[in-house]
Structure 1
Amino acid sequence: MSVTYLTTQELSEKIKYDPRTIRQQLKDSVLLEGRHYIRPFGGRKILYLWETIEEDMVKMALNSVLIPLAKGGAIHG
């Protein structure tokens, strides 16, 4: 299996989130060490595993519940 390693900046460009949001809100709550990112050689640098993140994003999107609204929109429940 091929793995694509991304820096925080590269990940932010792919998923359209600010790098600060990734570091402060997503890391360690949604993005988990050992599954979504690693710290190579025990250092401070973080590399994100793109294929795992992409797979989990799609799973979460497909499993979300949409509640229809009267004027045709929908909200996530």
Structure 2
Amino acid sequence: MCLAIPVRVVELLPDERCVVDLSGVKKEISLALVSDVAVGDYVILHVGYALSKLDEAEAAKTLALFAEMAG
């Protein structure tokens, strides 16, 4: 099973890349599939690529569900 996880963009980098925050873990990912991303935006992360933008309320709801499932 594969999961796509909401993450917050914390830094934009050259070459369609950015740094995201996933529960305190910083990770560099590709923005090649998504346009018009800014620091503070939430994106859906899957295997190192941002797949789409996500509004903050939906990201919070999804992250809360993941936390609930983790126990």
**Global fold match (TM > 0.5):** no
TM-score w.r.t. length of structure 1: 0.33
TM-score w.r.t. length of structure 2: 0.35
| Higher-helix-fraction structure | 1
Structure label with greater radius of gyration: 1
